[in-house]
Amino acid sequence: GDALLPAPQNISILSTNMKHFLTWSPVIVQGETVRYSVEFQGEYEREYANESWIPICECSLITATVCNITEDISATVAYNLRVRADVGARRSEWGALKGFFNRITTSLTPPLMKVIADGYHLLVELEDMGPAFQFCVLYWKKGQESRMQQKVVKEVSSAVHLDTMEAGPDYCVKAQTYVEAINRNSSFSQTQCVRAQGGRSVWL
Amino acid sequence: SGELYCSLPNPRNVHFESINMKNVLHWSAPEGTGDGVLYKVKYSVYGVGKWIRKPECRNINRTWCDLSSETSDYEEQYYASVKAFLNGMCSDWMETTRFNPLTDTKIDPPMLSVSSTEKSISIILTAPEKWKRSPEGEAVSLLQVYPGLQYNVSVLNKKTKKRWFFSISNNTLVVPWLEPGTAYCVSAQIYVTTPLLHSGFSKEYCIATLKEKMA
Amino acid sequence: TAGNKIFHFGPCRISMSMTEIRSSFTAIKANIQARDPIRTLSILSHPHSLHKVKSSDRCCITHHLFNFYVDKVFKHCKTEDSYVNRKISSIANSFLSVKRKLEQCHKQNKCMCGQESAEKFKQILANYEGLNVIAAAIKSLGELDILLNWME
């Protein structure tokens, strides 16, 4: 029969490293394909635009139970999100995310990092995490933690030159990400140490 | 303005091409018209009420017009427009989109000067100059136009094929502790964060460190 | 640590990420400006350019302008294009976030308003009210790069 279609449940956000995904539990209707549509509402819409909602066209009438909302969560304010189901002409009520989502709560993971000694030169290779990310790289001569140096890295297309090394002592490096839009840092990566050896990389 | 009967097809793709704020208006000839088409050009400062004719681009048969002088104030924004004439007929005025010199110009790569010693190479970078009215005119570096300008420098060790990357704000870079008698190739790019602009990478300048002096 | 972009308006210091506002605006600039046929009038830059504002008045003018865009402009910019609407929402929510910070400065008397900023803003409102509300809102949105260039 034409029982009312239940609204999607267990609506939640998965947000890591400024990539935000809305997920929900599937609505089960035997023998039917259920489709879902997602809308968002920022603080501006709530307070200045009659609480209007904005559809995300990439997540209109989709069969998946996940939607990438990263492009639309592009301000550091509180957002509402909602999902509804459609089967043929039948349509459910909106299921809403409990509470707001603000991207400032995204979880930031330490960056993948590889430290290289190329002759007497200390270099670091960092994972490209997207335009929102910069990297704060700290490096020091082992045992001289008090004389730690810092370099902010924005371009990670190839090995970034940190400094020249004296032959002999170990040089250690660790890095954290920095997201300007939310003014937050990740925790630091594992420390990696290398030593200059006349042009050959030596891992310790 | 006593224009003729305007049923000639319109000039197409009327747009500014800007490099280092040398702002040149370009367009394509109207569809299906052979030789003999002439053009005239006008421009206006956005927000100001009048169109201004460009006398040097009146009745021209080329399909470009240098408006650098007229659009040199990069705190303003501009429109330009072109009209075609052929055998007593004319086209409509065809306009550009709004042109903002500060954000819409392209920037050339920096110029490089590279020297070497036995164990180091020194790189001096020079940002291109903003377009100027005459060779004698005062040179204005794009560094003055874009205070946040930075350089990304790439150094390739030809022996190990390893490429290093430097990001610097000043215009000199010395890379010490290199291998004697080794070839290094350097190229650089300009990077501006506000507004977001970057040049391509310059062509590579290769130089070898001097051979080690025998003791 | 690497600082967010810190804007100094005299005693008022505000961290703002302009990169996202600029990229959202750049994505819709041609579309929005094409909807504004009026070449002969500007909301922000004529007859008086923002660049002529004294530095002591910059905070107040910026505060007024962010209020102006949030309160008056964005709500009248709805288009038939869903992509453009989403980018406008992104800009509007970013502006709201900055407006809040400017309000803090204002409450702490760090964003004083002088005669000149009052005059300048009055001129901007007069330009705005000289057009019908939709045309004025679209024109103001199309001039966002004038505001961003001046701020940066």
**Which of the listed residues B102, B132, B158 is the one where a domain comes to its end?**
B102
Looking at chain C, the whole-number percentage of residues with pLDDT higher than 70 is 97
Q: How many domains does chain B have?
A: 2
Q: Test A158 with B191 for CB contact under 8 angstroms.
A: no
State pLDDT tens for residues B45-94: 999 979 999 999 999 999 999 999 999 999 999 999 999 999 889 999 99
Check residue B4 and give its pLDDT. 56
B4 within a domain of the structure (yes/no): no
Chain A residues whose beta carbon lies within 8 Å of the beta carbon of residue B177: 119-121, 164-165
Q: What is the DSSP string of A39-86?
A: EEE-HHHHHHSTT--EE-GGGSSBSSSEEE-TTT--SSS-BEEEEEEE
Q: What is the DSSP string of B140-167?
A: -BHHHH-TT-EEEEEEEETTTTEEEEEE
Task: Determine the distance in angstroms separating the CA of A139 from the nearest CA of chain B, rounded to an integer.
Answer: 16
Q: Which tokens in the block code for residue B141?
A: 């570096």
Mean pLDDT calculated for residue range B99-114: 96
Confidence of residue C13 (pLDDT cuts 50, 70, 90): confident
Please tell me whether residues B115 and B169 are part of one structural domain: yes
- pTM over 0.80, yes/no: yes
Domain range holding C104?
4-151
Check residue B145 and give its pLDDT. 93
Give the CATH number of the domain where residue C145 resides.
Answer: 1.20.1250.10
Task: Determine the distance in angstroms separating the CA of C46 from the nearest CA of chain B, rounded to an integer.
Answer: 6
Nearest C-alpha in C relative to A75: C94
Q: Is the ipTM of this complex over 0.90?
A: no
Please tell me whether residues B144 and B69 are part of one structural domain: no
Chain A residues whose beta carbon lies within 8 Å of the beta carbon of residue C19: 131, 180-181
State pLDDT tens for residues A157-191: 789 999 999 988 999 999 999 998 899 999 999 99
B27 within a domain of the structure (yes/no): yes
Most C CBs within 10 Å, among A74, A126, A155, to test the C interface: A74
Of A54, A136, A181, the CB nearest to C2: A136
Q: How many domains does chain C have?
A: 1
Q: Test C145 with B103 for CB contact under 8 angstroms.
A: yes
Check residue A2 and give its pLDDT. 58
Separation between Cα atoms, residue B105 and residue B19, nearest integer Å: 5
Check residue B211 and give its pLDDT. 87
CB burial of residue C46 (10 Å; 0-12, 13-18, 19+): middle
Give the CATH number of the domain where residue B187 resides.
Answer: 2.60.40.10
Task: Determine the distance in angstroms separating the CA of B177 from the nearest CA of chain A, rounded to an integer.
Answer: 6
Chain A CB within 8 Å of residue C40 CB: no
Domain range holding B163?
111-208
- Sort strands A95-96 and A90-91 into parallel, antiparallel or unpaired: unpaired
B17 within a domain of the structure (yes/no): yes
**Which of the listed residues B45, B72, B102 is the one where a domain comes to its end?**
B102
**Which of the listed residues B69, B102, B135 is the one where a domain comes to its end?**
B102
Cα A198 to chain centroid, rounded: 39
Please tell me whether residues B53 and B80 are part of one structural domain: yes
B6 within a domain of the structure (yes/no): no
Chain A CB within 8 Å of residue C104 CB: no
Please tell me whether residues B119 and B197 are part of one structural domain: yes
Do residues C9 and C53 lie in contact, with contact meaning Cβ atoms separated by under 8 Å? no
Chain B CB within 8 Å of residue A121 CB: yes
